[in-house]
């Protein structure tokens, strides 16, 4: 075996538990997450070690919720926002995002873009 071939073996990706999306060559999704048939976001329970290093949490297993498990917007009451004190997979960033408790005070994307929220 030559020296260059032994280096190639060492350079193989260490995160074999991550899979690429079918429509993109650059985005990755932990294999334990599945796409919701309703909202098309990812959901499931994933082992912390199966997450990219930047998304890892202290828990051994991280529960990931989609927007279907969200709460109604405080402004319009119709659209949903991600449930506070939960996690969701941000497909655009390729990362797990945590929603803190105070995210319940935020309006949905539609209300924010229409500037419907109250300033009082």
**pTM of the full structure:** 0.68
The full set of domain ranges for the chain reads 15-113
Contacts of 108 (CB under 8 A, 6+ apart): 73, 75, 76, 79, 80, 81
117 or 29, higher pLDDT:
29
Count the neighbouring beta carbons within 10 Å of the beta carbon of residue 55: 20
Contact 61, 96 (CB under 8 A): no
pLDDT in tens, 53-110: 777 887 888 899 999 999 999 889 889 999 999 999 998 888 889 999 998 888 888 8
- State the pLDDT at residue 112: 85
């Amino acid at each position: 075996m030559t020296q260059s071939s032994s280096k190639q073996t060492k350079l193989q990706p260490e995160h074999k538990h991550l899979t690429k999306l079918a429509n993109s060559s650059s985005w990755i999704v932990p294999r334990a997450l599945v796409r919701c048939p309703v909202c098309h976001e990812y959901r499931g329970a994933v082992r912390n070690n199966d997450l990219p290093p930047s998304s890892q949490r202290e828990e051994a297993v991280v529960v990931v919720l989609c927007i279907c498990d969200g709460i109604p917007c405080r402004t319009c009451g119709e659209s949903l926002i991600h449930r506070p004190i939960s996690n969701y997979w941000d497909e655009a960033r390729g990362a797990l995002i945590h929603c803190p408790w105070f995210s319940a005070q935020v309006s949905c994307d539609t209300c924010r873009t229409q500037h419907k929220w109250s300033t009082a």
